[in-house]
Copies of this chain bind each other. A is one copy, B any other.
Amino acid sequence: MGISGDDIREDLSEQCGLPMALAEIGEKWSLMILRAAFNGVRHFEEFLSEMGIARNILASRLVRLTDSGILERTPCPDDRRRVEYSLTQKGRDLLPAMVALRQWGEKWQLGVPSNPVLVDARDMQPVQGMTIRSHDDRVLHIEDLCWIDASDRDIANPASRRDLEQHAVAETVAREGFF
């Protein structure tokens, strides 16, 4: 009647940020709406004309995105018909993921850099390709990575560095997996 062992295991396996993220922004149009929001689009009719989305779908997505705190809905004080949708910090925090996706699309589908080009405002040079970095700032490639269990880290944490390494290596051998 309650939660079975399998259910708990299922829940734990979903203790990963990726499925969580997809649950909030994985529907059709959600990321395109956020892209428009990053582009300074703020109003319903403006989203509607900039992208090829249907009215009812846009309305439902805007509700979902504001409900999950990614967009903020503010009625305009000067014109009370209008509503302003703007990115919250949670929404703005999606920029690295969106830039990484865009760069992937540029590299593998477009073949050339997208237009406009994302540049550093200080010197107008294009930003780097998104990379995974170590704590001491080295660029890590897929073969430099491995995954260890959080509880193993917790156990090993106050212990000596040798212990930690032994532990982690054993764990690494055990799972070739990732997320």
Question: Interface on A for B, CB 8 Å cutoff?
Answer: 12, 15-24, 26, 28, 31-32, 35, 38-40, 69, 90, 92-110, 113-128, 130-135, 137-138, 140, 142, 144-151, 153, 164-165, 168, 172, 175-179
Contact = CB atoms under 8 A, between A and B. Distances in A.
A106 B145 contact: no
A21 B104 CA distance: 7
B16 A115 contact: yes
B17 A110 contact: yes
Contacts of A95: 132, 142
A168 B122 CA distance: 10
Nearest to A69: B108
Contact of A147 (B35, B90, B96, B117): B117
Contacts of A23: 109
A93 B97 contact: no
A24 B109 contact: yes
Contacts of A115: 12, 15-16, 149-151
A38 B177 contact: yes
Contact of A178 (B35, B93, B96, B146): B35
Contacts of A96: 100, 104, 130-132
A97 to B, nearest CB: 4
Contacts of A137: 128, 137
Contact of A15 (B20, B110, B132): B110
B92 A97 contact: no
